[in-house]
Amino acid sequence: MRISRAKAVVGIAALVLLAAGCGSGDNGTGGTGSDVTLTVSRWAGPAAEAEVQLLKDFTKQTGIKVRVDAIDYAQLKQKQTLAAQNKTGDYDLLYVPEAWYQEYNKAGYLVALDQYLDAADKADFNSTALDITSSGGKIYGLPDFLQSPLLVYNKDEFAAKNVQVPKNWDELLAAAKVFKDKGTGIAFPGRQGSAVVDVLSVVAKGDGGGLFDAGGKLALTSQPVVDSAAFLTSLMKQSLDGSAGWHYDETTKAVQFGQAPLAICVSGLFSVAEDPAQSKVAGKLGYAPIPYQQTAAGLLATWSYSIPVGSKHEKEAYQLASWLTSKDTQVKMIQAFPGHLSLRTSVFDDPSLAAKAPWLPAVKETLANATTPPLSANGAKLTDALGAGMNGLFVKGGDPAQMLQSVQQQLASDF
């Protein structure tokens, strides 16, 4: 689940070592000088490359040098946990996805950050994102990045067919049918895997429910989840041919090359569809929450910066994490890599980003009612089983309630 979603964001996966320049001295910003070098562990790709360029400013401001160990997602956790278990001090900052925090905190890998984080700064972060990194009432990570699925549509195609932007399930089914009857339809990520589970989670949240109940128990047989699975099964019937085998990469390409007039895509790939050098529809796209029954909903698939126990430069590491997640740096990061989405509330209203990232208003609307991917160590089991079940409904048909009951029973001992 996490691997496929990470690929959708970074686009490439390679073992690289990137440096953030040298610099020296302290320019009055609290730096400790050029004798300190921090090493950051994170995944590779365009986001890492953009970050490295920004880190040159951090070095100029503080005199602190930074090395970025940017590697393939599939090896990232292994390297982080090995360093944390042995307290080697190899890393001063870890880039951690939401699904790893429960394990890392239970194992005692991370340093609590409450002593450094002031109230005003804390208030600007998305509160649910902070909760993801927290354990025992303490905060162990500063939220940096999120991705979430949205409805993406071609404004010209909608105008030509006199189709309004859908807000609820019936309207989305009707809009998709208009285009299906004309030979296209909605591009939907129906392949077994994380995307279809993400979308089901968001749709259920928008119907007042979720994959888990208020007490954290698996709730696949709850009415909102059953209804959401049935709705998505109906939506697949109005999809572009091949959608049952697609993930986010394919739905984005269908929009990007003008094949699909509407689609469910993930935010990390929006910038590709808006790039005139890569897209036939750049500047023609609109963005909206996935249609809902009660309230617009989103997904908090997040990455946050944490300090591992054993860091040789804990204070400087927090200084770097704070700088990376500050509003100013977050705005610059989006300007450099529009696929970046911040978890700072104030960033969404920055006027300099309106043209660069036109999806921000829709994302902001969904974050007030956002769910998370499965956070427990058994989350991958749920994604595999539920993804297979949903894909089975799309390809072979069947009763959504029975499928969900089967998966609930199959995973009863794991949740």
CA distance 108 to 306: 12
Q: What is the mean pLDDT of residues 87-107?
A: 95
pLDDT at 16: 39
Q: Report the percentage of the chain scoring pLDDT > 90.
A: 87
Q: Are 258 and 281 in contact (CB under 8 A)?
A: yes
Eight-state DSSP code of residue 239 = B
pLDDT number for residue 34:
62
pLDDT at 314 exceeding the cut of 60: yes
Mean pLDDT for the chain?
A: 91
Give the mean pLDDT of 318-333: 97
- Token pair of 315 as six digits: 């204070």
- DSSP H or E run through 365: helix 360-367
Q: What is the pLDDT of residues 194-242, one digit of tens each?
A: 999 999 999 999 999 999 999 899 999 999 999 999 999 999 999 999 9
Position 88 scores a pLDDT of 87
Provide the 3-class DSSP secondary structure of residue 29. Answer: coil
In the predicted structure, residue 370 carries a pLDDT above the cut 80? yes
In whole angstroms, what is the distance from residue 307 CA to residue 50 CA?
A: 21
pLDDT single digits (tens) 260-297: 999 999 999 999 999 999 999 999 999 999 999 999 99
Counting beta carbons within 10 angstroms of the beta carbon of residue 119, is it exposed (0 to 12), middle (13 to 18) or buried (19 or more)? Answer: exposed
Judge whether residue 64 has pLDDT over 50: yes
Question: Is-contact 343 144, C-beta < 8 A?
Answer: yes
- Asked whether residue 375 carries a pLDDT value surpassing 60, the answer given is yes
Ordered by where they begin, the domains of the chain are 2-147+301-370 (3.40.190.10), 149-299+376-410 (3.40.190.10)
Give the amino acid at 35. D
Chain segment 103-142, per-residue pLDDT in tens: 999 999 999 999 999 999 999 999 999 999 999 999 999 9
| Tens digit of each residue's pLDDT (9 = 90 or more) over 2-50 | 434 444 444 333 333 444 444 333 333 344 456 899 999 999 988 999 9
pTM for the model stands at: 0.90
